[in-house]
A and B are shown apart, each in its own frame.
Chain A
Amino acid sequence: MKKNDDILLTMVSDAMKDVRCKQTVDVTDKVMESIDHIELLVPKSKPSTGRSFFHLTASVAACLAIGVGVSLGFIHRSNDGLDNQTIMSLFAVAYDNNSYYTEETEEEVYVVEDMVSPFFGEEDIEN
């Protein structure tokens, strides 16, 4: 059986050996012309560190955004006493205005302390 297979393969090889283009067409110019058109339409992509850096930065930013989102959700769920508005106000005061840490008036400190107290014990705020 194997011998017959080998004979068949030899016969196939023999039958196909003459199946070839007697004269090959030189397509070099046409190919080079096509490539010029491609390059005009789409700049050839090269491995670029800038691009990788952009992807990395975008990934890190996305992870941070997800992290903040999850934290907010967690805080919100674990502090039923606070509604969304209170949480957002707290972040706005603490992050944007920095009034608690820097240029606070007594009244502002009072407001912030009042809002922060559910998160931290009174001792934490005093410290």
Chain B
Amino acid sequence: MIAKEEERGLVQAILDGDKDKFAIIVKEYQEIVQNLTYRLMGNKLDVEDITQQVFVELYVSLPHFRFESRLNTFIYRITVNVISKIYRKESRMVSYDAAEQDTASTELNEEERIIKEEQRQRLRKAIGQLHPEQRTALILCTYENFSYQEISDVMQCSFSKVESLIFRAKKNLKKILDKDAN
């Protein structure tokens, strides 16, 4: 990740007309955007298009970036916004493409590995059935390790709404998993 001071200089240079500097930002953050997009959308086909859209929106929004948060938080926010718009247009369930998952684990024997992988798949399936807002909050919290405050910045909602989203996400996950087990 780009250091805070360097980040400020970079953004200022782009705003002053040095458009080529934007390529540095794209190269630095495209992996983060692509992975988050894949986790939220569950479809590799959408990833490239959405990533492009995120960076174009970032470029257009850059004059409004006030350096109150880090650039990566701003990029996460745009990514979540772009994906939310897609969710609103077409409400679809997410299913994670098994071919993209790296299931190799050297610590477990074959039997344990298979059981563990079955568990993971059940969970992924359950996560894919959650309401998009709950899934977004849960993924930002668990995988991206964001604090509730950071999630509220990224999702542009209140702290209490984040608490509620994660509480309901966990409750619904348990419900889905129980139903699946019976």
Contacts and interface: CB of A to CB of B under 8 A. Distances in A.
B163 to A, nearest CB: 12
Interface in B1-41: 15, 19-20, 22-23, 26-27, 30-31, 34-35, 38-39
Contact of A24 (B30, B42, B139): B30
Nearest to B174: A8
B63 A19 contact: no
Interface string A15-41: 111111110111110111011001100
Interface of A: prevailing SS: helix
Given A31-B55, A38-B56, A16 B124 contact: yes
B52 A21 contact: no
Interface residues of B, number: 43
A21 B47 contact: yes
A108 to B, nearest CB: 58
Interface of A: 5, 8-9, 11-22, 24-28, 30-32, 34-35, 38-39, 44-47
- The 10 A-B residue pairs with the shortest CB-CB distance in the complex, in nearest-first order: A15-B123, A15-B120, A13-B142, A31-B55, A18-B101, A28-B26, A12-B142, A24-B31, A16-B143, A18-B102
